[in-house]
Amino acid sequence: MFMFLFLVVALAVVVAAVTLSVVGGGESAPLPDAEPDRLVDPLPQDRPVNRADVESVRFPLAARGYRMADVDDALGRLGAELAERDARIADLEAALAGARASATMSLRKPAEGEQQ
C-alpha cells in the first residue's frame, strides 16, 4: 500500500513539473517556438564568387542532411575550380589587351617623314 501511494505522489509531481514547464511556469503565454538554425547567405551579391567565399561558407548541423566530409570535399573542389577559372580569365584578358595594343600600333598611320 505504501509503495502504491508513493508511486501516485511521484506521478503527480512529474505531471505537475511537465505541465509547469510547458505552460511556462505560470506565465500567460506558452514557450516560444525555437528558431531553427538557418544558413545566412555569406556569398556576395554584388560580385562573382571566388575561392575565399566558398571556403568561408559554413552550414548549420541538422538531424537529417549530408555527410560533412562529402560537403567539404565538394566545396574544396568548387573553390579550386573557381580559382583556376579566375586565373585563366585573367590570362585571357591580359592576352586580349596585348593583342589590342599591338593591333592599334600596326593600324596607326605613319607620319610624313617615316618609312615603312
Instruction: Express each pLDDT in 57-72 by its tens digit.
Output: 877 777 777 788 888 8
**Model confidence at 116: pLDDT above 60:** no
Find the domain containing 82 and state its range.
46-105
For 79-101, the pLDDT digits (tens) are: 889 999 999 999 999 999 998 88
Task: Note whether residue 85 is domain-resident.
Answer: yes
Calpha distance 66→68 (Å, rounded): 6
For residue 54, being part of any structural domain is answered with yes
| Domain assignment present for 89 | yes
Domains identified in the chain, total number: 1
In a domain, 32, yes or no: no
Q: What local confidence, expressed as pLDDT, does residue 24 receive?
A: 62
Decide if 22 is inside a domain. no
Using pLDDT thresholds of 50, 70 and 90, give the confidence band for residue 13: very high
Local structure of residue 24 (DSSP, 8 states) = T
In this structure, is residue 67 part of a structural domain? yes
Query: Has residue 86 been placed in a domain?
Result: yes
Cβ(40)–Cβ(73) under 8 Å?
A: no
| pTM for the whole structure | 0.48
HSE at residue 34, side-chain half, CA atoms within 13 A, is: 2
Q: How far apart are CA 86 and CA 48, in angstroms?
A: 10
Alpha helices in the chain (DSSP H): 2-23, 51-56, 68-107
Q: Which residues contact 110 (CB under 8 A, 6 or more apart)?
A: 116
Looking from the CA of 59 toward its CB, the CA atoms found within 13 Å total: 14
Is 94 domain-assigned?
A: yes
Asked if the model's pLDDT at residue 73 lies above 60, the reply is yes
